[in-house]
Amino acid sequence: MRLWAWMAGLAALLAAQAAWAGNVGFERVTAPAGADKPLVVGIWYPTDAPEAPMALGPSSQVVALGAPVAGANHPLILISHGTGGSFGDHFDTAKALAQAGFIVAAVSHTGDTYDDRSRTRRISERPGHLTPVIDYMTTTWRGHDAIDARRIGAFGFSAGGFTVLGAIGGEIDLSLMAAHCRQHPHFYDCATIGKLGEAPPAKPAPVSHDARIKAAVVAAPAMGFAFAPAGLAKVTVPVQLWRAEWDTVLPQPYYAEVVHGLLPKAEYRLAPHADHFDFLPPCSDQLAKLAPDVCVSNIDRAAFHKTFNAEVVRFFKKTLD
């Protein structure tokens, strides 16, 4: 009788998952963040509703806006963007994950977006943004019943890579930043801080960790040097680490290579001939006019993203299933 009940339950689960036709739904929401401003979140998820083109900032995507969620027991993936970005920065990776059966929640980090750089130097606050997003997605979002809260992963690029490393247990020494920038004032992170003219916080916020995150993909992480020598000692979840071979924004060996040395068991992937912003989707004509530096590439970015997104999906399927 117990075997029959177990088989019936499994059949019901498979039937629910099979009902999904491979399409992707999308919506933009706000998630409460305690006393702080609510966090803006973009959500991609499996649906069987028809898709249609829609604008996403200076880009566009083909999704089913506001459609019902199809299936059940979907893993949840969080996405953390780079400095000065937004929740839509990795929409193609988010859609690839949703097409593979994941629910994806990408957060815009308050004070470190394209239209608000007021907290860029308060980078240690960023990991703490992931916890309220997890809370919202697993308890309040209209599709929360379709999420398997035991299977949560996180993807981060650049400053988002730091964010995810912090959330899974990493600790940084921000006092190393001053010496780093004295030695490398032309590096992107140091030059950006100089342009902002923002004073560093007198007492940086402690990095917040969330044990609910069970796997992480980190691409071209910022602040790698500040994790040494033991800042990643408490990271125990599986990590897929990507480095752009010709990263001119966060050049080696100060960032991804430091993380690689501290996480020798990570699945390490090199993107041949790629530069830093090649981890962002291929640019629309509009975005290329607005941000040409982000869009210039020495590789076929569209072809690279087919491989990159497939590898991200494979890793999360392997580690969360």
Q: What's the mean per-residue pLDDT of the chain?
A: 92
pLDDT in tens, 83-106: 999 999 999 999 999 999 999 999
Residue 5 falls inside a structural domain:
no
pLDDT in tens, 12-66: 444 444 445 689 999 999 999 999 999 999 999 999 999 999 999 999 999 999 9
pLDDT of residue 21: 61
- Domain containing residue 300: 21-320
The confidence band for 204, taking pLDDT boundaries of 50, 70 and 90, is: confident
CA atoms of 38 and 129, how far apart (whole Å): 10
Q: What are phi and psi of 108, to 5 degrees?
A: -90, 120
Residue closest to 52 by CA, chosen among 26, 30, 71 = 26
Residue 53 falls inside a structural domain:
yes
Residue 8 falls inside a structural domain:
no
Task: Please say whether the beta carbons of 177 and 199 come within 8 A.
Answer: no
pLDDT of residue 15: 41
pLDDT in tens, 148-203: 999 999 999 999 999 999 999 999 999 999 999 999 999 999 998 878 766 667 68
Residue closest to 136 by CA, chosen among 211, 31, 44 = 31
Residue 193 falls inside a structural domain:
yes
CA atoms of 25 and 80, how far apart (whole Å): 20
Tell me how many domains the chain contains.
1
Residue 1 falls inside a structural domain:
no
Residue 291 falls inside a structural domain:
yes
Task: Please say whether the beta carbons of 247 and 261 come within 8 A.
Answer: no
Residue 4 falls inside a structural domain:
no
State the residue for tokens 């402690």.
206
Domain with residue 45: its CATH number is 3.40.50.1820
Look up the pTM and report it. Answer: 0.92
Residue 104 falls inside a structural domain:
yes
